[in-house]
A and B are shown apart, each in its own frame.
Chain A
Amino acid sequence: MAGRRAALKAIDWMAFAERVPPNQKAVFNGLKTRSDAIAARLRSLPEKPAVIDWTFYKGAVANVAMVEEFEGKFKALQIPEPVDTETSKIAAQEQEANKHAIAYVEGSKARITQYEKELEKFRSMIPFDEMTVGELNETFPETKLDKEKHPYWPHKPISEL
């Protein structure tokens, strides 16, 4: 009666652990302990139940009719496989997670392009030794002295000198 279920997927816990971000390590540990407990319980149960020797019982028990009734009912008994209610939920969760992941990756890529642009600006700057003040003001607009607000030298409040 075993083996009709989908085979269990082998999980590489080491690789999985590497990818867990540090702030979720506790949750991951909980998951691992639970999984290990379940696996241990499963392993402790033998796959097939013990076989009942009907001939012996027929010979031993006086009430053969009862034994035969038991035998018939036992053989006819089918224990239904437990209904799987959770897998669909898990699949739904997985879809959600995939959506979030794709959105996050998109955002991350956008951020990377932005960083790359800024990095490009820094890399293509002329060295400071060869810059004029005008070029400095272009590259770093915050260094531009506001001549309208402070018309007299040093064109910035004394506290900022």
Chain B
Amino acid sequence: MCRTSQSHVMTRLRFNEISRYFFAILVSLWRRVQIGRTGTRTTAIHCTGCTNSDMLSRLVFVSASALKSSGPLGAGLVQASRCLHTSPQTLAPVPPLPEEGGKTRHGIIPEEIFQFLYPKTGVTGPYMLGTGLLLYMLSKEIYVINHETFAAACIGIVIIYGTKKFGPSVAAFADKLNEDKVAKAQEVKDLATRSLTEAIQEEEKEQWRVEGRGALFDAKRNNVQMLLETNHRERLHMVTNEVKKRLDYQISLQNLHRRMQQEHLVDWVEKSVIKSITPQQEKESIAKCITDLKLLAKTTQAKATA
């Protein structure tokens, strides 16, 4: 995820041409070793951001012709032919970092050397070159064998064994640390986008709700109209009913009068008739009733026996 920070010390050192050549080789080889052994990019958890000149030095492999544009340059050497990203404000988007480090053979030697020498020397070229260089340095005693050599060999064996055994797991652990960070950041981003979209939807929903405010006032106006209408009708009805009640009252009053008059007359007639029956008339009527009854009894008896 992050780029390795270049040691700024290197930019200030001054060497002559050949020393610079070897030094550049060593520098890039050392970085290849780091990358090749762990099998993944080095992950310094906290690093400072790098400028583009650092980035260039990562991607360029060693060759005599490529030296001019790579490696640590002295402060005084400015390549007029190549315009590098020297100004701090460059608009070109920075290309993403490669996932894997440069390919190496036997863990140390960059693959590009083999590819570079293949057209001229075939497959065995670099091996011959390596053997030759080694023998040259040994025989001419440019490299002297002393006890340091043995120490270096032992340490080298231990280091190689260690990285081969524990390299992948350490790399996985370091990668996991980074993955967690990225996942956390991604989660934050997802949460933020989700909440923002939801907020936008809520706002639009509220706007839609607001549009319905007219119905409330329509309802109120309707209520008012209905109340007025009800009131009016009630009054009309009341008036009619009252008038009708009064007229009906008059009629029923008249009827009552008529009835009372009739009953009173009938009673009076009855009373007067009863009063007018004198005692003499009463005796005569009773005697007549008795004779009539006797006659009736005789006729019924006669009928019964016959």
Binding site for B on A (CB under 8 A): 1-2, 5-6, 8-9, 11-12, 15-16, 18-21, 31, 34-35, 38-39, 41-42, 45-50, 52, 57, 60-63, 66-67, 70, 74, 77, 79, 81-82, 84, 86-87, 90, 93-94, 97-98, 101, 104-105, 108-109, 111-112, 115-116, 118-119, 122-123, 125, 128-136, 140, 153-154
The reply to whether B225 and A115 contact each other, CB–CB distance below 8 Å, is: no
Show 20 A/B contacts (Cβ-Cβ < 8 Å), sorted by A.
A1-B232, A6-B225, A11-B215, A12-B215, A18-B212, A39-B226, A49-B240, A50-B244, A52-B240, A61-B254, A70-B243, A81-B232, A90-B221, A93-B217, A104-B206, A108-B207, A111-B199, A115-B203, A119-B193, A129-B182
User: Which B residues from 225 to 244 make CB contacts under 8 A with A?
Assistant: 225-237, 239-241, 243-244
Question: Of the 9-residue stretches B22-30, B42-50, B261-269, which lies at the interface with chain A?
Answer: B42-50
Binding site for A on B (CB under 8 A): 1-3, 46-50, 94, 96-97, 182, 185-186, 189, 192-193, 196-197, 199-200, 203-204, 206-237, 239-241, 243-244, 246-247, 250-251, 254
Instruction: Given A49-B237, A70-B246, A132-B3, answer yes or no on A19-B223 (Cβ-Cβ < 8 Å).
Output: no
Provide the residues of chain B in CB contact with A115, threshold 8 Å: 196, 199-200, 203
Given A12-B215, A133-B49, list of 5 further CB < 8 A pairs?
A8-B226, A52-B240, A84-B224, A129-B96, A129-B182
Closest chain A residue to B208, Cβ basis? A19
The reply to whether B219 and A133 contact each other, CB–CB distance below 8 Å, is: no
Closest chain A residue to B210, Cβ basis? A101
From the candidates B213, B239, B251, name the one contacting A77 in the complex (CB within 8 A): B239
Give A141 to B182 CA distance when docked, in angstroms: 16
Give A118 to B237 CA distance when docked, in angstroms: 67
Give A1 to B243 CA distance when docked, in angstroms: 18
Least Cβ–Cβ distance between A39 and chain B, in angstroms: 6
Give A48 to B223 CA distance when docked, in angstroms: 21
From the candidates A21, A42, A70, A81, name the one contacting B209 in the complex (CB within 8 A): A21
Provide the residues of chain B in CB contact with A128, threshold 8 Å: 1, 182, 185-186, 189
The reply to whether A116 and B200 contact each other, CB–CB distance below 8 Å, is: yes
Provide the residues of chain B in CB contact with A86, threshold 8 Å: 220, 224
Closest chain B residue to A132, Cβ basis? B49
From the candidates B200, B222, B247, name the one contacting A57 in the complex (CB within 8 A): B247
Give A49 to B215 CA distance when docked, in angstroms: 33
